[in-house]
Structure 1
Amino acid sequence: MEAKVRQELFNLLALTRAEPGCINFDMHEAPSDPSLFLFHKDWASEEELKCCFETPHIPRWIQQNLVSGILDLTHLRKVNEQQLHVVSGR
């Protein structure tokens, strides 16, 4: 099963990286637990990110029930230097 999950994750990476607006999509593995992954992706726009979740391969991957733990999605925005100066008062 572990080999199937890993292969499906690599397939997901390839399909997602080919989508319009995908700047990067990286998979990280916990050194102490090869079954724990973190994914980081950057998109050119919010609209293209939204379209990513509407592609057929995302729901297909989720429906395979390959995830045995918590699937935690957190949407963050990159902070640029100008925004940092506003917050710090400089």
Structure 2
Amino acid sequence: MTTLTIVANIHANPDQTELVRAELEKLLPITRAENGCLQYDLHRDNDNPAHFMFFEKWESRELWQTHMNAPHLAAYMKATDGAVAEFILNEMSSIG
């Protein structure tokens, strides 16, 4: 089985850091319970508190796509509209 690894970097606007953090933390229990979610960990940069990173592992790209279309992710997007300066997502595969 080839799993999908997702690395998502979220850079909050400096004056919206705590809002973005709170909204990201709301995603943790819901997403971890989703079908196909093997790992869903949120990190914060030690030197830049406005930089958050999700490290995720999914059973398949299809199950991750289901997650990306889930209502709780849409609610996050609405709640953080205008609060995120940059969002970079990488779909990755393990090579060793």
**Category of TM-score, reference length = shorter chain:** 0.7 to 0.9
- Please, what TM-score do these two structures have when normalized by structure 1? 0.77
Number of equivalenced pairs? 80
Q: Contact 2:42/2:54 (CA < 8 Å) preserved in 1?
A: yes
Work out which of the residue numbers 34, 38, 52 in structure 2 matches 1:37: 52
Work out the CA distance in 2 between the residues paired with 1:52 and 1:78. Answer: 20
- Across the aligned residues of Structure 1 and Structure 2, the Cα RMSD in angstroms comes to 1.6
Higher strand share: 2
Equivalent residue for 1:6? Answer: 21
Quick one: which amino acid aligns to residue 78 of structure 1?
A: S
Q: Per-residue deviation at 1:51?
A: 0.6
* SS of alignment partner, residue 34 of structure 1: coil
- Rg bigger for which structure? 1
Q: Does 1:69 align with 2:69?
A: no
- Please, what TM-score do these two structures have when normalized by structure 2? 0.73
Identity, % of aligned positions: 29
Higher helix share: 1
